[in-house]
Structure 1
Amino acid sequence: MLRRDGTVSGWDETKISVALTKAFLAAEGDSAASSSRLHQVVAELTEQAAQGVLRHAGPEGLVHIEQIQDVVELALMRGGHHGVARAYVLYREEHAQAREAEARRTEDAAPVLEMTAPDGTRVPLDWERVSTVVEQACSDLDDVHADQVLREVRRNVYDGISSGELAESLTMAARTFVEAEPNYSLVTSRLLLDKLRREALSFVAGEPAEADQVQMRDRYAGYFADYVRRGIELEQLDPELARFDLERLGAALDADRDIAFGFLGLQTLYDRYLLHEDGVRFELPQAFFMRVAMGVALREDDREARAIEFYDLISSFDFMCSTPTLFNAGTTRPQLSSCFLTTVNDDLHGIFHGISNNALLSKYAGGLGNDWTPVRGTGAHIKGTNGSSQGVVPFLKIANDTAVAVNQGGKRKGAVCAYLETWHVDVEEFLDLRKNTGDDRRRTHDMNTANWVPDEFLRRVEADEPWTLFSPDEVPDLHDLYGTAFAQRYREYEAAAERGELKVFRQVRAVDLWRRMLTMLFETGHPWITFKDPCNLRSPQQHAGVVHSSNLCTEITLNTSEDEVAVCNLGSINLARHVTAEGLDVERLRRTTRTAVRMLDNVIDVNFYTIPEARASNLRHRPVGLGLMGFSDALFAQRIPMSSQAAVEFADLSMEHISFHAIAASSELAAERGRYESFEGSLWSRGVLPIDSLELLAQARETGVDLDRSSTLDWDGLRERVRANGMRNSNVLAIAPTATISNICGVGQSIEPLYRNLYVKSNMSGDFTVLNADLVRDLKAAGVWDEAMVQDLKYFDGDLAPIDRVPAELKSLYATAFEIEPRWLVEAASRRQKWIDQAQSLNLYMAAPSGRKLDELYRLAWRKGLKTTYYLRSSSATHVEKSTLRGTDGKLNAVSPAAAPAPSPQPQACAIDDPDCEACQ
């Protein structure tokens, strides 16, 4: 056991038993001592706690005393002894305060400690500098205390501590207080920043160097020029960056923007985005943003002015480029595109060419969507061998394993989504791909899957009619047909099958297949439900091809073929930065949108293309996908609950403004730079904007589209400008998940509702306590933010509804995803969809799913004109740790959240509890 003073003592299980007994006596008085069950209960809890402690043991078998106490507290909570657990928490808090008081008394008499420098020499530990760094980190932040952090640091340093361990100790000391005060996330980030500054400045200078936040205001410009030269020497930065006016760009860097990061954001940046050599980071955050801006501005006439404009936009968090752009802009391999869509052809060469393309695209951080519908089904004839096909599933297994093998250089998991149309004869086996049972050779545990559903199928479901499955080699034109043309040809093939003219087909009841689709979606989270006809009928590029699938995250709807791999370049507006308590800041949103579209268009020209089919497609059509994030934060700022008509109206208004200005910006770029090559014949060329294309969908559906079509801006004037100038980009709008870039900006991802008010987030950078700072601010104003509230939030998994002290207004405003009726999410999404030329990554949440509820929800999504849906999420027994999150080892001391029971567990539809798509953004 590792004690608080750093010494090690032997493991003694009886001490847990004694602590538990004292806790019962403190909570229940002397009557507990005479209880015949006390000894048995204590013995059972001791055994549970001992097993938990073993899970925490480090590589040398050590476990910290605080971790042991955490496990004891958790055992009490799991056993339902909540009163005893509360007494135990208070006992720990009293003793912690006593230790702090003792530490203050002995601080002046503490011995002088030494630190081991990187070269192995020992130097006095500079407490004065440590104090300065901590005090700067806490400056201008409410309810944080430098002396509290310093006391925690003093408890954990030791004589001979290395400089790296000291830096780690600073950040870990501050993060222990995040669960009680979210501003400590900023403190922790600033302390991590001090470590990063020392690392980067020393590397660039070639000798030990450091600077605090105040000093960096003067040093950033000089560092920046040295950083660019050093990066070029290391062959990581494009030599063209040296041709910029580095003095001018360095002067434009705002050092104080470094301290705007939360801990999760900066740690994510540190671990995965900042350039490094042999693990040593030499890129500071503002240099990172300027490097991205320079990389995107390479082809601009006034490169410095545009780079500064782009830098201001992303470093202020008003807008953020997608992850591939952040990874690679300005480097020697600038693969900046986010999403790639392919169609796999029906022969061995085509199949393995498609899989090879997946590997090459994934290598440089691309997310993949594959259309597998053309591949013939099981039992189909193979002319070359006179044999029978095994169908599409064995090849999907190979694609799955390829995605695992090519993991984007360890920065992110490689990821791919396979799409199959609902009429494919292998569709039922396709539904089973993500099951954990059955023949593992016919399972794809790592690959996403999605149903590509034509309207004709859902009409059959609603009419309870039969549905016929075909092999695509016998019905090849179905793949390229949609709308009424598909329905007519599909019925002709059914008649041909009845006449015996087709060899491979099978008839099922449409309702039964639909139920099975929903059942698999509930049980495995896959395949997702996406709608073929709305994607094609509303596509601006329907004159130039067919949309055969969406992408990895279901927001991209572009044409694919044997010759063209669709490419989309993504970025997202931070909506939280464009609202006030009074509403939308329309002028700021206009400026951001227009600059963002220019940046995205530039990406197409400076991009490094790994396969020729992607280059040809991207340069011909020039699609981009401007989206948004921070939607829930924008609602909080306006005091609008997600489950309200006001939220639906705001979704409509905000998306209308983004759409209007994005289309206008692309049209202005067309006047400046020229129209995209395939413009003529597009919906744009006919003056048909996304809001107008709704009518095309309504005409193809007998029942129309149940959707409000009102607008507020001058769309007639914009139509005329588009006709006159053309468009620079075939597509301009798509809402991606923004999982990692929203972490960097410190806002809620994409259009998502609030996940939890308090939870532990796990990603490739580690475990992070995430606490809703807006909620804490309001609870403080209401006078109810205290240690008991923290414990209640943890016990109820971040939900406010069961906590009596929380005002009703706040319960409504900060309702979590599983408390919101999912129809509100569909309603808001449908309002956005009318303005978007592509689609949106729409997660749906359901606390207690049933077949009837799922059927109603997905039919509603279809009737409302949605093009795609994404994950179905249901609450499960996977919740925030019930024990304290505090610790001294630099890691969250709680056992895995998956081990913590919910007060009332619900069915689980998907194993991902924190809905992140790490591979899309």
Structure 2
Amino acid sequence: MQTSQDSSATAKPVPPQPSSSEELSATAPGQLRVIKRNGSVVSYTDDKISVAITKAFLAVEGGNAAASTRIHETVAKLTDQVTATFKRRMPTGGTIHIEEIQDQVELALMRSGEHKIARGYVLYRAARAEERAHNSPVPEKTHPSIRVKRADGSEAPLDLGRLEFIVNEACEGLEDVSAQHVLEEALKSLYNGVSETEINTSLVITARAMVEKEHNYSLVTARLLLDKLRAEALSFLGVAESATQHDMTEYYPKALPVYIEKGIELELISPELRDFDLEALGAALKPECDHQFHYLGLQTLYDRYFIHSNEVRIELPQIFFMRVAMGLAMREENKNERAIEFYNLLSSFDYMSSTPTLFNAGTLRPQLSSCYLTTVPDDLHGIYGAIQDNAMLSKFAGGLGNDWTPVRGLGAYIKGTNGKSQGVVPFLKVVNDTAVAVNQGGKRKGAVCAYLETWHMDIEEFLELRKNTGDDRRRTHDMNTANWIPDLFMKRVFEDGEWTLFSPNNVPDLHDLYGKAFEERYTHYEEMTRRGELKLYKRVKAADLWRKVLSMLFETGHPWITFKDPCNLRSPQQHVGVVHSSNLCTEITLNTNKDEIAVCNLGSVNLAQHIVEGDNGEARLDLAKLEKTIKTAVRMLDNVIDINYYSVPQAQNSNFKHRPVGLGLMGFQDALYKQHIPYSSDDAVEFADRSMEAISYYAIKASSDLAAERGSYQTFDGSLWSRGILPIDSVKLLIEERGADYIEVDQSSTLDWDSLRETVKTQGMRNSNVMAIAPTATIANITGVSQSIEPTYQNLYVKSNLSGEFTVVNPYLVRDLKARGLWDAVMVNDLKYYEGSVQKIDRIPDDLKALYATAFEVEPRWLVDSASRRQKWLDQAQSLNLYIAGASGKKLDITYRMAWYRGLKTTYYLRALAASSTEKSTVNQGSMNKVSSSAPAAEPQAAPVPQACSLDDPDCEACQ
């Protein structure tokens, strides 16, 4: 019953064999190829699979006529399944070992319920393996059995000794991994004439396939990938042809100055980096930090971040971090010491700068800022000027938030032409197409979010911009939208009252008003409509419009729901302007006007890295380490403002005046796991409160101390800071304006805020705004922790990238299951079957089911409660995704009302599973032993929900 693609009984490795014409044709790109046990390569063909499966059936059932039809149909179906598996894994072609094909045949038989056939097939394979082992001599360990084709076309024997050393080195210090197993499996994929690159690929793919059984193989895979990176970069720089990780203690210091000179010569990095003490900085590099990477993190850096020349990466991980550190330290007086300080923070994974900073620090055009917020004026010249600003900002990797509320609505009078306006929507179509056209230097498509206030005449059509039906000329499929909601609208919803829509050219002051002032003016305009003094308006039921907002949000994922009044009433900068919108990811709340494009610079504390074991053996937050991290992080963020490249003058004007930064966090879920705290618990809400309080306290202190050294920002006088009103105090301002009946926010605190208030009033603040929690999807991948404040999406899922599919598994779950003797192959299969959920696996204890509940298993109230506790400490906002299982209109209504009632400033994506979609169906979908191809995009749902910020769809990467 052996598959006929392998008729040889000779075991690998063997002396090199001459290639047949069939073998030569098999090497064409885009084709699937089969590696036989003798190392030769042949084309993959369906017919040989069919023959093998047919033989298996005939051996068990015989060849009678009654069975013939069933066998034929079943064999065809199983053959298609096996072939489809390999084509999905390797859509651009590749090599498969004969054993992998037989494994898939065996698996297909079992999944189809053909257990007798599968059993016979397994026994036959075992017998043939024993026969081959008995007849084949064991080769010498160092015997070169395969010839390797080098880049220059020459050939040399495969260096098995080095291969073994690299694999052993990759497994060094790790538990429950086997270097021998990796080596043996990788050798099955090698063949005569294999290239040097394919050898590393074989090692990486082999180790990567083992991750689902043992999470530490993710570290092994990353270390094996490093071998490729070292060879690529060190060879290009002329430092060494190849190197082991142990060699990097010698080679990293040598490589740094060569890299700097080469990068300057190629016009890839700034000549200013030459002015550093490169010997001292080289000596400060820490090769051991390379071992922190998991595979996904290192592959992400390689694919997207490392500087390259003609697709050859010339950076290595520690050189990459040092380049970023040098780029952020180049204006410091003691820049060498600061560069080392910044490098130590980045390379430790205690803190990570946002993607634009990682991309561009130290380069010739250091566009380091993440987010830009603009207000679009109500005139044609201003509108197209704003669209041009969008293009220029997008070109250099900025994420955009546009306030479109000032632009007059459909049917409004245009004095200059004596005509009527077409409203906001046609211009938004132009914005959408501009975002597509200006694709951020080819790195990703442009990303923009349009904001509109709920009283705008065009709000109903605005809500439908992302629909897949209707006039496509009035649809924007490639941009995001957000509803900028005043408190008065929410009060009318609660009271089941009426709501009036206006064109902003008739009510121009509403745009700049909030709180009680807005309410008074808005009701005044409503009275004018009743007296006939305002002709262009529309009256609707507030509850009906609210239902439409929620309906569109569920159907299209837009508009995001954001709240105007808390953003303004709690803004430290209300003395010099108004917050008219948030940004691309809803965490930035800064003033905008025709002369100022708000800019924010982001970075995130890795909360998981600050959880330590206390004296009593229980995990706790290390406040001393957190304070040290934040002090350096805030300095790095402040430096961005002076170093940054500004593509439009309004952005530089705003940033130099106010100097806002946005320090956030990631790894919140990891921090809970380390403390064994379930996300759905009062303890988690309390930890959200206390951890954010500490971050807020140390961030404000760091900015104030920086002001003592460098001076306060220009518009400090008159700010809430200057009056001793800190973010926790501004909650009272919101309560007073909104009314206590419409808000409930915990106001407890534990730290010495009185002394900090006095410090801020005395020393000032270096930055108008200090905190904002961004999505962090990509930088969280780099550091190997959970995104931002997100709950775990799945405990086990399959991720896809350019190199194929690989499994991502929750290491904390594996840790706890191992501790209880529950981690085995059956558990892996159960997790696959239940798509990463532990709730239906009977063997798992209830406490672990609570701890490892996934995003849709966490009631949304816990997400909102934790967000409310964080929001009271934040001077800006947070990117809050809401996950709702069994979604219905009522459930959405309750959740978003609760978000407003709890004092949140903004919300982000809605992740909704309809009630009809929560039951798992594996038979019809063929999803047994299979999980979604990427998280969190592929869950079953009644309505399409757009993908979150992720490596696969990084619309929001500017915020990461």
Select 2:203's aligned residue among 160, 170, 187. 170
Report the equivalent of 1:471: 503
- CA drift at 1:20: 8.8
Select 1:279's aligned residue among 282, 288, 311. 311
1:259-285 C-alpha deviation (Å, 9 max, x unpaired)? 110000000001111111111111111
For residues 94 and 425 of structure 1, the distance between their equivalents in structure 2, rounded to whole angstroms, comes to 74
For residues 558 and 90 of structure 1, the distance between their equivalents in structure 2, rounded to whole angstroms, comes to 69
For residues 370 and 746 of structure 1, the distance between their equivalents in structure 2, rounded to whole angstroms, comes to 33
User: Which aligned pairs between 1:539-550 and structure 2 lie closer than 5 A?
Assistant: 539-550=571-582
For residues 913 and 106 of structure 1, the distance between their equivalents in structure 2, rounded to whole angstroms, comes to 54
1:690 aligns to 2:727 (yes or no): yes
For residues 296 and 706 of structure 2, the distance between their equivalents in structure 1, rounded to whole angstroms, comes to 36
Report the equivalent of 1:910: 945
1:187-238 C-alpha deviation (Å, 9 max, x unpaired)? 1111111111111111111x76211011111221111111111111111111
- CA drift at 1:504: 2.5
Report the equivalent of 1:886: none
- CA drift at 1:491: 1.1
Select 1:771's aligned residue among 803, 809, 813. 809
Question: Which stretch has the larger CA shift, 645-654 or 867-876?
Answer: 867-876
Change in Cα spacing, 1:111 to 1:20, as seen in structure 2 (3 Å) is same
Report the equivalent of 1:852: 890
1:786 aligns to 2:824 (yes or no): yes
Report the equivalent of 2:217: 184
SS in structure 2 opposite 1:286?
helix
- CA drift at 1:381: 1.8
Question: Which stretch has the larger CA shift, 408-417 or 139-148?
Answer: 408-417
SS in structure 2 opposite 1:434?
coil
SS in structure 2 opposite 1:289?
helix
- CA drift at 1:582: 2.5
Change in Cα spacing, 1:488 to 1:3, as seen in structure 2 (3 Å) is same
Change in Cα spacing, 1:415 to 1:188, as seen in structure 2 (3 Å) is same
1:827 aligns to 2:861 (yes or no): no
- Residue identity matched to 1:332: L
1:744-790 C-alpha deviation (Å, 9 max, x unpaired)? 10000100001100112346776442111111111111112111111
Report the equivalent of 1:887: none
Change in Cα spacing, 1:126 to 1:249, as seen in structure 2 (3 Å) is same
User: Which aligned pairs between 1:180-329 and structure 2 lie closer than 5 A?
Assistant: 180-205=213-238, 209-329=241-361
- CA drift at 1:50: 7.6
For residues 937 and 720 of structure 2, the distance between their equivalents in structure 1, rounded to whole angstroms, comes to 53
- Residue identity matched to 2:525: Y
CA contact (8 A) 1:189 1:261 kept: yes
CA contact (8 A) 1:655 1:835 kept: yes
1:920 aligns to 2:955 (yes or no): no
For residues 528 and 74 of structure 1, the distance between their equivalents in structure 2, rounded to whole angstroms, comes to 44
CA contact (8 A) 1:419 1:449 kept: yes
Change in Cα spacing, 1:92 to 1:229, as seen in structure 2 (3 Å) is farther
For residues 218 and 128 of structure 2, the distance between their equivalents in structure 1, rounded to whole angstroms, comes to 25
CA contact (8 A) 2:721 2:765 kept: yes
Select 1:672's aligned residue among 681, 701, 709. 709
CA contact (8 A) 1:797 1:880 kept: no
Report the equivalent of 1:647: 684
SS in structure 2 opposite 1:798?
coil
For residues 645 and 66 of structure 1, the distance between their equivalents in structure 2, rounded to whole angstroms, comes to 51
Report the equivalent of 1:897: 933
- CA drift at 1:791: 1.0
Select 2:906's aligned residue among 854, 861, 868. 868
- CA drift at 1:37: 11
- CA drift at 1:4: 3.6
For residues 527 and 184 of structure 2, the distance between their equivalents in structure 1, rounded to whole angstroms, comes to 81
For residues 653 and 86 of structure 1, the distance between their equivalents in structure 2, rounded to whole angstroms, comes to 59
1:584-608 C-alpha deviation (Å, 9 max, x unpaired)? 1111011111111111111111111
For residues 438 and 69 of structure 1, the distance between their equivalents in structure 2, rounded to whole angstroms, comes to 51
User: Which aligned pairs between 1:579-598 and structure 2 lie closer than 5 A?
Assistant: 579-580=611-612, 581-598=618-635
Report the equivalent of 2:454: 422
For residues 376 and 797 of structure 1, the distance between their equivalents in structure 2, rounded to whole angstroms, comes to 49
Change in Cα spacing, 1:634 to 1:60, as seen in structure 2 (3 Å) is closer
CA contact (8 A) 2:800 2:933 kept: no
CA contact (8 A) 2:109 2:118 kept: no
Change in Cα spacing, 1:561 to 1:69, as seen in structure 2 (3 Å) is farther
Q: Percent identity?
A: 61
1:632-659 C-alpha deviation (Å, 9 max, x unpaired)? 0000000000000000000000000000
Select 1:383's aligned residue among 415, 431, 434. 415
Change in Cα spacing, 1:286 to 1:897, as seen in structure 2 (3 Å) is closer
1:530-555 C-alpha deviation (Å, 9 max, x unpaired)? 00000000000001100000000000
- CA drift at 1:501: 2.6
- Residue identity matched to 2:189: N
- CA drift at 1:895: 10
Report the equivalent of 2:194: 161
Report the equivalent of 1:484: 516
User: Which aligned pairs between 1:609-624 and structure 2 lie closer than 5 A?
Assistant: 609-624=646-661
For residues 158 and 818 of structure 1, the distance between their equivalents in structure 2, rounded to whole angstroms, comes to 46
Question: Which stretch has the larger CA shift, 394-403 or 533-542?
Answer: 394-403
Report the equivalent of 1:755: 793
For residues 190 and 526 of structure 2, the distance between their equivalents in structure 1, rounded to whole angstroms, comes to 76
For residues 462 and 72 of structure 1, the distance between their equivalents in structure 2, rounded to whole angstroms, comes to 60
- CA drift at 1:103: 7.6
SS in structure 2 opposite 1:545?
coil
Change in Cα spacing, 1:334 to 1:63, as seen in structure 2 (3 Å) is same
Report the equivalent of 1:342: 374
Change in Cα spacing, 1:222 to 1:170, as seen in structure 2 (3 Å) is same
User: Which aligned pairs between 1:369-518 and structure 2 lie closer than 5 A?
Assistant: 369-518=401-550
Change in Cα spacing, 1:161 to 1:378, as seen in structure 2 (3 Å) is same
- CA drift at 1:65: 6.6
- Residue identity matched to 2:887: P
For residues 890 and 360 of structure 2, the distance between their equivalents in structure 1, rounded to whole angstroms, comes to 46
1:113 aligns to 2:150 (yes or no): no
- CA drift at 1:66: 7.5
Change in Cα spacing, 1:14 to 1:133, as seen in structure 2 (3 Å) is closer
CA contact (8 A) 2:109 2:117 kept: no
Query: In angstroms, what is the RMSD of aligned CA positions?
Result: 3.3
- Residue identity matched to 1:3: V
- CA drift at 1:517: 0.5
- Residue identity matched to 1:678: T
Report the equivalent of 1:143: 176
- CA drift at 1:707: 1.4
1:6-60 C-alpha deviation (Å, 9 max, x unpaired)? 533563458459749969999xx99x99999966983784486388469648567
For residues 503 and 396 of structure 1, the distance between their equivalents in structure 2, rounded to whole angstroms, comes to 26
CA contact (8 A) 1:73 1:85 kept: no
1:718-750 C-alpha deviation (Å, 9 max, x unpaired)? 000001011000000000000100111000010
Select 1:531's aligned residue among 557, 563, 585. 563
Question: Which stretch has the larger CA shift, 439-448 or 642-651?
Answer: 439-448
- Residue identity matched to 1:179: E
SS in structure 1 opposite 2:324?
helix
CA contact (8 A) 1:3 1:64 kept: yes
- Residue identity matched to 2:894: E
- Residue identity matched to 1:173: T
Select 2:162's aligned residue among 103, 113, 129. 129
- CA drift at 1:356: 1.2
CA contact (8 A) 1:21 1:42 kept: no
TM-score, normalised to structure 1, is: 0.92
CA contact (8 A) 1:623 1:729 kept: yes
CA contact (8 A) 2:587 2:773 kept: yes
1:82-134 C-alpha deviation (Å, 9 max, x unpaired)? 76589969977995998699689666178622222222222222221111111
CA contact (8 A) 2:663 2:772 kept: yes
